[in-house]
Structure 1
Amino acid sequence: MLGDNEKSAEFDVVINDEEQYSIWPADRDVPAGWHTVGTRGPKQQCLDWIDEHWTDMRPRSLREALRQAAGDSA
């Protein structure tokens, strides 16, 4: 069960260089290596946004390596 503070807290959706998403409290500085994507709201709204937009959970470097490997074997 969510407490009153968590229900009213606002979060930012953040992304790192590997294109991995997370949420971060809007009233705190975003950690190094992460930046906001422009979506802010209640926790569940941010989690729903991530669920809709983060369709490939693999890190970007892995996706690129697999693409290169597939191209090399073609």
Structure 2
Amino acid sequence: MTLPPELSPEHWITHVFSAKAARQGGVIRRNLRDIERYVGRSAFEDELKRRGYHAVENAGQLIIFCNQEPIRLIL
């Protein structure tokens, strides 16, 4: 689904976290460019903190763990 550019930050966040994987406590991936364009990185990080979620960044992508479980990086 393509989102309109005039989508409000609140609606964009609602859209992101209403994805099936997010609702089920899974993992979602978003492009940092989209996060910055629709809501701003700082506001998005505030929302992650509010929800108790974790995320990792790699190659312009943010991998978001939609649960409060600990993360262990495996090298």
Under a length normalisation based on structure 2, what TM-score does the superposition of the two structures give? 0.29
| Structure 1 or 2: more strand by fraction | 1
Larger Rg: 1
Under a length normalisation based on structure 1, what TM-score does the superposition of the two structures give? 0.29
